[in-house]
Amino acid sequence: MRADEIHLSYTDPMTGEAPRSTQYRETQYADIAGVVLVVKHAHRSRSPLWSAEPYMGHLHDSAFAMWAQYLKTQSGDSGLIFAHIRRRDLLEQIAQEVGTEAWIRGRSAWMGLPRDRWWSGPRFRFVRRDPREWWAVPADPAKDDECGPWPSERAARAAVPT
């Protein structure tokens, strides 16, 4: 994967809404291999740090302890958590990590965390994997299978009941 293939969006792919407040911080989202990364930057602070971590709003309360335990046991692995001083370098860091053994282990552990059954978001989020290739990715991987490809996001939304 290359850094220019990572598409950041201001719309939360799990809820379909933009963040409520963006004052003094920039929040963007990237959907990479079924893992939604939240990219943050405090643009009016002295810190130039950009960071990316998995989306946590849909997890069960016990998942946080399980994820912390996983991070504790993985020495040297980022656990799907990234940070860099420049946005371009952060995206390059993420692109280099995708597909490695550490990424596959971290993604498997992340997908295995329990989801909050009362969380109400759309059943699917739509992801572009290649030009003119859109897929419907389940919000809860334990319940649904992926659907697709479609030639456009509009065609995908029309074909998939949400």
Does residue 64 sit in the same domain as residue 113?
yes
Task: Quote the domain boundaries for residue 145.
Answer: 122-162
Residues 161 and 114 in one domain: no
Dihedral sign for Cα atoms in the order 143, 53, 98, 156: positive
Specify whether 111 is located in the same domain as 162.
no
Residues 111 and 158 in one domain: no
For the chain, the C-alpha Rg in angstroms (whole number) is 16
For residues 112 and 128, membership in a common domain is answered with no
The tens place of each residue's pLDDT in the chain, 162 residues long, gives 788 888 888 888 887 777 766 667 788 888 888 888 999 887 766 667 889 999 988 888 888 888 888 888 877 666 788 888 888 898 999 999 888 888 888 888 888 888 887 776 777 888 888 888 888 888 776 677 788 888 988 888 888 876
Instruction: Give 84's contacts (C-beta < 8 A, 6+ positions apart).
Output: 49, 50, 90, 93
How far is Cα 123 from Cα 58, in angstroms, rounded to an integer?
12
Both 100 and 42 in one domain: the answer is yes
Strands of the sheet containing 82-84, edge to edge, are: 26-32, 35-41, 50-54, 82-84
Same domain, 150 and 109: no
Q: Are residues 28 and 65 in the same domain?
A: yes
Number of domains in the chain: 2
* Cβ partners under 8 Å of residue 127, min gap 6: 13, 31, 34, 134, 135, 136, 137
Mark whether 147 and 96 lie in a shared domain: no
> In the prediction, which pLDDT does 21 show?
66
Report the candidate in 53, 36, 55, 59 with the shortest Cα–Cα distance to residue 127: 36
